[in-house]
Structure 1
Amino acid sequence: MALAYLWASVCLLTLLGILSVHIMGFLEQRNKFQVEGRTVLLTGGSQGMGREVAKLLARRGANVIIVARDLKKLQAALEYVKAAAKDLSTQRFHVISADVTSESENARVISEATTWNNGRVPEIVWANAGAAKPGLFVETSVETMRKQMDINYWAAVYLAHQILKAWLYPSTPYPAASPNSKGRIKSEPPRHFIMTSSSAAFAGVAGYSPYSPAKTALRGLADALRNEILLYNGARRSPNTTKQSPTPFDIHIQTIYPGTIQSPGLEIENSSKHPVTHILESSDPVQTELEAATAAIQGLENGNYMTPTNWLGGLMRFGALGGSPKDNIIKDMLGQWLSSIVWLFVSPDLEAKVWGWGKKEGMPELKAEAK
């Protein structure tokens, strides 16, 4: 009996040890976001987190194309990114000036990037362009809210539509792949389509009503696309695919959720941010552009589908997971359970602060642009 208890204890401790290692994410160390020698197209790459992401990609050996409106900023960012290159003798860099809120401009971006890349569609595309203009809902004009949706949602939709069609239905069909001696079709490394959302997509906060709905919509798009793309990943393994030569690669959909980043964009945000929003954010962690970019790349290298860039975003993600895919089943299940308890205290506190501000300060004056 004692021996049975001993072995049971050993087995239990071993299981707990394995679970602990799994929770900490140490079992799978393989880099799942290989960029060396591949071409990355990044929108919103002339400043902020995007510029730092481009630098980190260059440091890892990628060819980098950065996209933004301001050509002068793009040229300056290009030099900054090239300075971090792993090997300038083999890596290439390019800029494209474009308004990504336009569908036709996104088509031009993919076409120009493909031509520059010697006729090969970029293997990694990152929809990072975005901007926040916070404010109270009734004080914000409908025009401003439309513009927020254009840059924070539609820009990514247009880019996704163009790149997925280019990958899945190229103008020149992929050559038919023959199986190897084991009957397996040789695969190329996966393509990655990445979207930068925001931790504002996880919880509604007073003062972000013009901005957070667009980022929440982006999260919904990512969930739907990730599920839908499995159809194509499966079809390339089907013997019944005859109408179109299947892709020799899988496609991965991934999302990044930054929080507050100390950047030029934050200064613009703060110019329209309501005082109550400042109060609600007063204890939030603030990252540098490089810290946020580093966390984003690390999440992609770990193979994560949803990557918050700071600890607060990670906690908020647990509470908002719902049916979204889990990156780590055990950690995410425990996190969801814990967050359900935490939100019992956090939600009333946030609501009390907003209510208290109204009681103390009185009725806000309606701004001219919203009249």
Structure 2
Amino acid sequence: MAAYLSYAAIALLLLVLYLSLDIMGILSRRNKFDVDGRTVLLTGGSYGMGRSLAALLSSRGASLILVARDPAKLASAVEHAKSHAKHPSTQRFTYISADVSSEAENERLLKEATAWNNGKTPEVVWAHAGSASPMLFVESSIETQRRQMDLNYWAACYLAHKTLRAWLYPETPYPAQTKTDGEKKAQPEPPRYFIVTSSVIAFVNIAGYAPYGPAKTALRALCDALNMEILLYNGARRSNKDTGTSPAPFDIHVRAIFPGTIKSPGLEQENKTKHAVTHLLEESDPAQTEMEAAVAAIKGLERGDFMTATNWLGEVLRISSLGGSKRNGVVRDTLGQWLTSLVWLVAGPDMEGKVWGWGKKEGMPEFRPEGSR
């Protein structure tokens, strides 16, 4: 028993040392999301955080294909991204107008993007499109709930399905990766990235987001599954067994971004339908500009994080609700879970008490079904 206690004490000291070095920035990390010279397809890239993401990706040397519905906004976003180009003479920019809530439109936009990219599926595909319609559940229509799922879940799911198939099983099969004795093993291509923008609501849903939260929570679950499932193909690339189907000559990484409150025209639209009790629950939440959220997202990708929350509160919520999700850092996330489990002993009842207290103070809410306001 004494020996076990000694080992535990040493392990604890090592954990504290690691955290201290990490916090001080001594443990530097290389950029794990280098987009210089690569093509990025970004849905929802015409305004808000998406427009800022496009500018940041351009400043890092990426060629861009922006996707949204409004051609005028897309053209403006493309020009904005061009103005931030790292290599103005070699980077390329275009846009595709599409309704990403349609499966057929996702198939079309990916084909058009591939053709524009000289027959090559873009190396980075980012499903960022989304929109919230916050309101009380009983007041929302079933149509709105379906639309929220279509745009905030199915749009990304359709794009993931078609992109991963294109990367893993292209129409023209990859050449067999064979080598004779004495030959050097072929160098793999840089990894491909499929990125999804979810929301901090995926970690903890609250009153007033019932129409929106389930879609974003489903996105998180999809990313958890894909992150594990893609290892099958990444592993197959390293296998010596010939199955008759050549694996892709690159690894694939799945990443998820979780923004919180963003000061944007989208937030102004959300506030038109948001119930007062939801405002109460969010009144102390940190709010970011579109660019601040975009910068945090890119930094998380460059660190190699699987799940990136764009502000401190989102990071606390992420750590507190990890479950079986992949950890960004075993030490940080494990210690963080211990701490946040204690925080929720206070935070959970406090939030529930605010909602209960609102009902007690204000009485039965007037029933205002969607469309009657």
TM-score class normalised by the smaller sequence: over 0.9
What's 1:5 paired with? Answer: none
Partner of 2:80: 80
Structure 1 residue 20 displacement after superposition? 2.5
Counterpart of 1:109 in structure 2 is 109
Deviation at 1:25, TM superposition (A): 6.3
TM superposition shift of 1:364: 1.4
Report what 1:6 is aligned to.
none
Matched, 1:169 2:177: no
Pairs within 5 Å for 1:207-226: 207-226=208-227
Say if 1:222 and 1:254, in contact at 8 Å, map to a contact too. yes
Identical amino acids, percent of aligned pairs: 63
Matching residue of 2:36: 36
For residues 1-371 of structure 1, the aligned pairs below 5 Å read: 16-22=16-22, 26-179=26-179, 184-369=185-370
d(CA) in 2 for partners of 1:87 and 1:312?
Answer: 36
Q: Which moved more, 1:356-365 or 1:127-136?
A: 356-365
1:179, 1:25 → 2: CA distance? Answer: 43
In the alignment, residue 348 of structure 1 is paired with which amino acid? P
Once the two structures are TM-superposed, the CA of residue 24 in structure 1 deviates from its matched residue by 6.0
Contact 2:19 2:332 in 1 (8 A): no
Which residue of the partner structure matches residue 4 of structure 1? none
- Please report how far the alpha carbon of residue 266 of structure 1 lies from its aligned counterpart in structure 2 after TM superposition: 0.4
Deviations 1:165-207 (A, max 9, x none): 0000001111223459586442111000000000001112100
Aligned-residue offset at 1:239: 1.7
Distance 1:15 1:51, change over 3 A: closer
What is the distance in 1 between the residues matched to 2:336 and 2:16? 17
Separation (CA, whole Å) in 2 of partners of 1:78 and 1:125? 17
Q: Quote the offset at 1:27 in angstroms.
A: 2.5
Matched residue type, 1:191: R
The CA deviation string for residues 21-55 of structure 1, in whole angstroms up to 9 with x for no partner, is 24666434110001000000000000011110010
5+ residue gaps, structure 1: 1-8
Distance 1:356 1:119 in 2: 59
Following TM superposition, by how much is the alpha carbon of 1:245 offset from its aligned partner in structure 2, in angstroms? 1.4
Q: 1:175 to 1:134 in 2, by over 3 A?
A: same
Contact 2:138 2:369 in 1 (8 A): no
Partners of 2:19 and 2:145 lie apart in 1 by 45
Deviations 1:100-148 (A, max 9, x none): 0000000001100000001111000000000000001001001000000
- Superposed CA RMSD in Å reads 2.0
Q: 1:19–1:346: structure 2 CA closer, same or farther, 3 Å change rule? A: closer
1:131 is paired with a residue whose SS is coil
Contact 1:177–1:186 under 8 Å retained in 2: no
> For 1:304-360, what per-residue CA distance to the aligned partner results, in whole angstroms no more than 9, with x for missing partners?
000000000000011100100001000000100000000000001100100011111
User: What SS does the corresponding residue of 1:369 show, helix, strand or coil?
Assistant: coil
Distance in 2 separating the partners of 1:216 and 1:10? 38
TM-score by length of 2: 0.93
Quickly say closer, same or farther: Cα 1:14–1:204, change in 2 above 3 A: closer
**TM-score, normalised via structure 1 length:** 0.94
- d(CA) in 2 for partners of 1:293 and 1:52? 6
Could you tell me which amino acid in structure 1 is paired with residue 160 of structure 2? A
- Structure 2: unaligned runs, 5 residues or longer: 1-8
Cα distance 1:205–1:368, how it changes in 2: closer, same or farther (>3 A)?
closer
